[in-house]
Amino acid sequence: MKVRTAPLAQCIIDERWLIVDVDDAYLELLGRPRAEVVGRSPLEFTAPQDQAFNDALLQRLDREGSGFVITKRYIRGDGAVQWVCNHVSAFGDGAGPRRIIATCSVEREPILMGGRQARARQDAANLARIFATAKHGFGDDLIGSPALEALLQLHLAEMEGRSLTTRGMARLIGQAPSTTLRWMRVLEQRGLIEVERDMPLDLAAPLRIGAHAQRTMETIAATLPPFGH
């Protein structure tokens, strides 16, 4: 496998979800030797708090072939926590079982997406535009819901590999930072969002949509026709 230049790293997983190949950048990211990585599941190196979320997305990829983007924590060989943004997709060359490739970056920067990922991102963007159009046409008092709009923005950010803080969310949904923070606390208590990097939930906290909320948003977005049709 060709070695990739940092900050991008890659690993290839087989149909059993075991790592069959990695580049040197991935080994450096995990702080582990090749012999300790190949043949094991990447979930073994994933922080316990992120395993269920990651597993749910892998299960969906296995069923539907749908690629995904996830921000999660790896546990390095020295025990340190490493936050990464992983873009995960399935591929096959027709010569053998399907493989899964994960491209990892330390920073949340979007990379080129495959067809399924691009379609899922477009679905999310369409849903965001429809919501914005409804607010403009009917008014915030009838259409606006800070909690729903926040989940929508987090869903779109996850699809695009972006990070949103509570303060940034306040600007996007047109609410005061203090009001937005209260809504984020409600969503966190209900398990619909998570705070990244073990930070307290405050205005600077980077946010992530939860697994259940993400699946629900994807289901809603996929039922909508292309925007403008």
pTM confidence score: 0.52
Q: Which residue has the higher pLDDT, 220 or 166?
A: 166
Q: Fill in the DSSP letter of residue 43.
A: G
> Which segment of 16-20, 53-57, 179-183 scores lowest on mean pLDDT?
53-57
Give kind and range of the element (H or E) at residue 158: helix 146-160
Structure confidence at residue 42 (pLDDT) = 94
Domain ranges of the chain: 8-111, 116-222
Q: Which residue has the higher pLDDT, 126 or 225?
A: 126
Beta bridge partners of residue 46, listed in sequence order: 74
The answer to whether 211 and 57 have CB atoms below 8 angstroms apart is yes
Assigned token pair, 173:
């949904």
- Gap between the terminal Cα atoms of the chain: 44
Q: Once rounded to an integer, what is the mean pLDDT over residues 28-37?
A: 94
Single out the residue of 85, 82, 90 nearest to residue 58, CA to CA.
90
The answer to whether 8 and 104 have CB atoms below 8 angstroms apart is yes
For domain 116-222, the CATH class is: mainly alpha
State the Rg of the chain over Cα: 18
Sequence-ordered strand ranges (E) for the chain: 8-13, 19-22, 68-75, 81-91, 99-105, 164-165, 193-195, 206-209
Winning range, highest mean pLDDT, from 60-74, 117-131, 173-187, 201-215: 173-187
> Which segment of 22-36, 140-154, 168-182, 193-207 scores lowest on mean pLDDT?
140-154
- Is residue 125 over pLDDT 90? no
Q: pLDDT for 153-195, tens place per residue?
A: 888 887 776 778 999 999 888 889 999 999 999 999 988 898 8
- Is residue 62 over pLDDT 80? yes
**Helix, strand or coil for residue 86?**
strand
- Is residue 2 over pLDDT 70? no
- Is residue 96 over pLDDT 60? no
Q: Which fold has domain 8-111?
A: Beta-Lactamase (3.30.450)
